[in-house]
Amino acid sequence: MNLIRMALGWLVGIALAGTVSLPLHWLALVAGAAGVGVVVVDRRWRWMALAALCLALGGIRYHVAQPLLGPHHIEHWAGADEVMLVGSVAEEPRRDDTGQQLVIAVAHAGPDGRLVPAEGRVLVRAPPYPPYYPGDRLQISGRLTLPRTAQRPGEFDYRAYLARRNIFVLLNRPTAIKTLAAREPAWGLAQISQFREQCRRTVLRLLPEPQAALAIGILLGIQAGLPEAARAAFATTGTSHILVVSGWNFTIVAAALAALAKLTRLRPWPAFWLSLAVMWIYAGFTGASAAVVRAAMMASLALLARTAERQSEPWRLLLAACWLLTLVNPHTLWDLGFQLSALATASLFAFGKPVERWLDGVRWLAYPALASVREALTATLAAQVLTMPLMLYHFGNLSLVAPLANILIVPVVPVAMLLGMAALIGGLIWLPLGQWLATIAWLPLSWITNTALVLAQPAWAALAVPSFPLWLLLAGYALIGGYWLWRRPDREDVRAA
Distance CA 154, CA 2 (A): 35
Beta carbons of 121 and 147 less than 8 angstroms apart: no
Look at residue 440 in the predicted model and tell me its pLDDT.
Answer: 94
* pLDDT tens profile 377-434: 777 778 888 888 888 888 788 888 888 888 888 788 888 888 998 999 999 999 999 9
Coil, strand, or helix at residue 168?
Answer: coil
Look at residue 492 in the predicted model and tell me its pLDDT.
Answer: 45
Highest-pLDDT range among 21-30, 246-255, 310-319: 21-30
Residues 462-473: b if buried by 16+ CB within 10 A, e if exposed: beeeeeeeeeee
CB within 8 A of 490, min separation 6: which ones? none
* pLDDT tens profile 175-203: 889 988 655 545 566 677 778 888 888 99
**Mean pLDDT computed over 135-156:** 82
7 residue type, one letter:
A
For residue 494, pLDDT over 60 is answered with no
Predicted model pTM: 0.77
Q: Which of 22-31, 49-58, 253-262 has the lowest mean pLDDT?
A: 253-262
DSSP 147: P
Give the ranges where 410-469 is alpha helix by DSSP (H): 413-429, 431-455
Distance CA 302, CA 437 (A): 33
DSSP 175: S
CB within 8 A of 363, min separation 6: which ones? none
Q: Which of 44-48, 172-176, 205-209 has the lowest mean pLDDT?
A: 44-48
For residue 472, pLDDT over 50 is answered with yes
Q: What share of the chain is helix, strand, coil (3-state, %, to 5)?
A: 65, 10, 25
Look at residue 248 in the predicted model and tell me its pLDDT.
Answer: 64
- Domain boundaries defined on the chain: 2-64, 74-187, 206-496
Distance CA 94, CA 102 (A): 7
**Mean pLDDT computed over 247-263:** 73
For residue 455, pLDDT over 80 is answered with yes
Look at residue 189 in the predicted model and tell me its pLDDT.
Answer: 64
Which among 153, 138, 131 is positioned nearest to 104, based on CA atoms?
Answer: 138
Across the chain, what does the average pLDDT equal? Answer: 81
Residues in the chain: 497
Look at residue 183 in the predicted model and tell me its pLDDT.
Answer: 54
Cα distances (Å, whole numbers) of residue 210 to 213, 391, 416, 439:
5, 25, 14, 14
Of residues 68 and 370, the one with the higher pLDDT is 68
Look at residue 443 in the predicted model and tell me its pLDDT.
Answer: 94
Distance CA 50, CA 44 (A): 12
Distance CA 160, CA 150 (A): 9
For the 74-187 domain, the top CATH level (class) is mainly beta
Look at residue 1 in the predicted model and tell me its pLDDT.
Answer: 61
**Mean pLDDT computed over 272-297:** 78
pLDDT tier at 124, thresholds 50, 70, 90: very high
Phi then psi dihedrals of residue 41, to 5 deg: -75, 165
Distance CA 462, CA 458 (A): 9
Look at residue 497 in the predicted model and tell me its pLDDT.
Answer: 44
Which among 81, 74, 77 is positioned nearest to 143, based on CA atoms?
Answer: 81
Look at residue 297 in the predicted model and tell me its pLDDT.
Answer: 78
